[in-house]
Structure 1
C-alpha cells in the first residue's frame, strides 16, 4: 500500500513519490432503504440545497434516534429514522446595515456542515448539541437538542449572541464569502473543540466551545492551521486547477478519531490528511495518507467568457501516476465507523465517481474497498458532499447501523412552469448491513455514542 507522506516544518514543500497500487476489485453496489423530502435550489424552493447530515443517538431508546441535516440557505431539518420531517429550523437572518438598508447586501445564514456533541454542560446540565458551520455569517450555529414535556427531543438555537466571525475581520470580509465551511467536533481532555475550514482557502481554524451567559454557547479561537496549496510533483511543482486565481484547494470533510489520536481532513482536489489530535499545530505529524487520482496530473486552463471564469482540462495522457485510482476529486464527506477498541473504518466520499472509499481505521489506514449507492426502492446517490455513519443498532429500523448520505442529484426529475429542470437534493438512508455484507466488513453494534 502507499506509505504516508510526512510534512516537516523544516521542509517547505511536500515530497511525493509515485508508488504502486494494490490490485483492488471495483466498487460494489448497494441501495438506499429510504429518503427524505426533496429540496430545490431555486427561488420557489427558497434556494434550499441539502449538504451534510448528523446522526443523533437517543440516550434511552436508540430506535428513537434522529438525523439533523443542513440545507444551506434553507436552514436545518430534523428527521426521524423513517426519513419523515420532525422539525424545520430556518437559517438565521442577515445582519442589518444601519442607516442604509436599501444598499444592504449582507448575507443571511447558510448552514453547511453539522456535527453532534453529547453531554455539553449548559447551566449545570449535560446537554446534547447540534453544531453547524454557518457559511453565510462566518460563525458556528449551535443548537440544543432537548426533550419537551411529551419527551420528544427538538432543537433550540442557543448560539451566543456575541459570537464573532471565525475568519473575517469585518462584515465586508464576511460578504466576500471566504467563510466557515467544513466542520468537525470532538471532546478531548475535558474540552470540546471544533475544526472549521475556510471556503476556497487552505486555512482551518481550531476553536474551543465555551458556555456563555443565559444558557448560550459560544467559542473562542485557539489557532489557525495553514495547509499547502502546491506540491512537488516530478520535476516541478503542481497545484490543482482552479477556475479563479484567488482560490486555493479547500477542505470540507473532516472527522476526529480520538482512539487513534487522529484528525482526518479531506482537501477536496488533493487528498486525505491525517494530523495529530493532541497536537494539531505540529506540522511534523501531518501526513497525506491518500491522494486523489488527479493528483499531479497536468492541465490546460482557458478563460470562459460565458461563465466568466477559467475552465480546466486535465491531461490524463500525461498522468504521472501519483494519485490513488479509487479516489476521484472532489473528495468531500468523511465519517468514522466505530467498532470499538480502536477498530472500524474511515469512509471517504469520492464525489468524482459517485463512490465511497473505505479505509481501515487503525494502523496505516489500509484501503479496504469501495461501494456506490445505485437505484433501488428509491433512486441512487450522486455527487455526495456530506455523510455520516453509525454502528449503533437503531431499533427495528436499522438494527445493524445506518449510513446517511447527501444526494446531490435527487430523482425523479421535476420541472418548473417554463420547462426547466429544478435542481433537487435530499438525504438517503442506507442500511449499513448491506454495505458490510457486500464488502465483507465485520459488524459491531455496541452503543458507544456517549
Structure 2
C-alpha cells in the first residue's frame, strides 16, 4: 500500500498516530494481551552497562564480524548521552570514545579510508539539535579502538537514526531526522578528510528512527515510531515515495516501532526485524515478499531479558559455539539496578523458537 503527501495519506497517518498514542497509555499487560503471540528466547550474553547511569542512555549496536577469528569479533554501541563503546563478544568493554550525543550507529567493512581498506563506523550526531551531523570513525580491529575521522553535514534538524548502504553509486549513509526527514548522504572517506553530500531527501509524516539497508535488493527500511515500517528504494535515483510494509497496529507491531535489522539469506531472502517497543517484542517479516512471519521476546535466563528496546542489529556467519547461526543484539532499557546495556542472542535460538527451519 502506498500513500504520499495527499489528504488521504495525511489523514491515515494521523489516525494511526492517534491510535498508537492511545495504545501507549494502556498498561503493559493490556498491550501484550492485544498483540499477537510472541515466542520466548533467552540471551546467551550481555555487554557491560554503559557509563551513564539512571538514564535512557544505551541505544543502538553495530557488529563487526572477524571472519578469520570469529571469537575476536567486536560490537560498537552508543551511549547517546556520552559517546561510543567497543565491546568484545564476552561483553567486556574494550574502548570508549567521548563523542557526545551520538544516537544510532552502523558500520561497513572494506571501505577505503585514507587510502587503505578498513571498517568505517558512522554515528548520528545530535550534539547540535538544530543541525544533524554524521560522525565518522575508523574501527581499529586489532586494537579494538575507534579513531575519529571528522563529521559531515546531515541536514537541518535533530539527528536520530543512521544506516549505511553500498551499491554501484558508492557508499550512502541514510540519516533519519527526528521529524521523519531522511537524507541520503554519499560518503567518500578515501582522502585525508572524509567528504559527503546530500543527494536525496525523503520524508515520513512523524518521528522516525531505526533503519536498515538491504544491499542485495536496493531496499531501505525505516521505522516511523507511531505508524509502522516503510520501504524506500536505496539508490540515489530511486523515487522518494514510501511503500508501507506494516502498520503499528497493536497486533504485529505495538508502538513504538523502533530498531530495524536485516537477516539476509541467499540472493534476496531472509527477514527484516522491527523492535515492537510497546510490548517488549520483535517482529519478523519475510524477504523479499515482506509477509508477517512471527514475533519473539527476550526473557530472563542466565542473563536478564530485554525490554523497551531501541536499537537492534543482526550479523550472519560464524561467531563461535556461543552464537550459532549468527548474532542478534538488542538494546535493553530497564536493566535491574545497573545502567542500560545490550543483550546478545544466538540466531539459532530464534530460529528454533519460531520454527523457521
- Alpha-carbon separation, structure 2, partners of 1:190 and 1:354: 38
Which residue of 199, 217, 221 corresponds with 1:264? 221
Are 1:357 and 2:335 matched, yes or no? no
- Following superposition, the deviation at residue 41 of structure 1 comes to 4.3
- Relative to structure 1, the CA distance from residue 275 to residue 12 in structure 2 (aligned partners, 3 Å threshold; closer, same or farther) is farther
- Following superposition, the deviation at residue 278 of structure 1 comes to 2.5
- Relative to structure 1, the CA distance from residue 400 to residue 281 in structure 2 (aligned partners, 3 Å threshold; closer, same or farther) is closer
Pairing 1:39-438 to 2, within 5 Å after superposition: 39=50, 41-42=52-53, 49-91=57-99, 109-137=100-128, 138-147=132-141, 151-159=142-150, 163-164=152-153, 166-168=154-156, 178-199=157-178, 201-211=179-189, 213-214=191-192, 216-227=193-204, 229=205, 249-278=206-235, 282-284=239-241, 286-293=242-249, 325-363=251-289, 365-411=290-336, 413=337, 424-438=339-353
Is the 8 Å Cα contact of residues 183 and 197 (structure 1) preserved in structure 2?
A: yes
- Following superposition, the deviation at residue 369 of structure 1 comes to 0.5
2:25 alignment counterpart:
none
Name structure 2 gaps, 5 residues minimum.
Answer: 16-34
Q: Deviations over 1:82-103 (max 9, x none)?
A: 1111111112xxxxxxxxxxxx
Name structure 1 gaps, 5 residues minimum.
Answer: 19-23, 92-108, 169-177, 230-248, 294-323, 415-423, 443-450
Q: Deviations over 1:79-137 (max 9, x none)?
A: 1111111111112xxxxxxxxxxxxxxxxx30110101121112321111111111114
DSSP-derived class of the 2:348 partner: helix
With normalisation by structure 2, the TM-score equals: 0.87
Q: Deviations over 1:182-233 (max 9, x none)?
A: 011111114100111112x12111111123753x323211132222x3xxxx
1:237 alignment counterpart:
none
- Following superposition, the deviation at residue 60 of structure 1 comes to 2.1
- Alpha-carbon separation, structure 1, partners of 2:75 and 2:236: 31
Is the 8 Å Cα contact of residues 56 and 67 (structure 1) preserved in structure 2?
A: yes
Is the 8 Å Cα contact of residues 408 and 426 (structure 1) preserved in structure 2?
A: yes
Between structures 1 and 2, the one with greater strand share: 2
The higher radius of gyration belongs to 1
Q: Deviations over 1:404-434 (max 9, x none)?
A: 11001112x26xxxxxxxxx31111111111
- Alpha-carbon separation, structure 1, partners of 2:133 and 2:2: 32
Is the 8 Å Cα contact of residues 33 and 429 (structure 1) preserved in structure 2?
A: yes
Is the 8 Å Cα contact of residues 7 and 283 (structure 1) preserved in structure 2?
A: no
- Following superposition, the deviation at residue 250 of structure 1 comes to 1.1
Q: CA RMSD in A?
A: 2.4
- Alpha-carbon separation, structure 2, partners of 1:281 and 1:344: 23
Give the count of matched residue pairs. 334
1:7 alignment counterpart:
3
- Alpha-carbon separation, structure 1, partners of 2:356 and 2:237: 30
- Relative to structure 1, the CA distance from residue 141 to residue 125 in structure 2 (aligned partners, 3 Å threshold; closer, same or farther) is same
- Alpha-carbon separation, structure 1, partners of 2:191 and 2:264: 35
DSSP-derived class of the 2:343 partner: strand
- Following superposition, the deviation at residue 63 of structure 1 comes to 2.3
- Alpha-carbon separation, structure 1, partners of 2:268 and 2:190: 34
Q: Deviations over 1:288-337 (max 9, x none)?
A: 111112xxxxxxxxxxxxxxxxxxxxxxxxxxxxxx51211000000001
DSSP-derived class of the 1:405 partner: strand
- Alpha-carbon separation, structure 2, partners of 1:325 and 1:120: 40
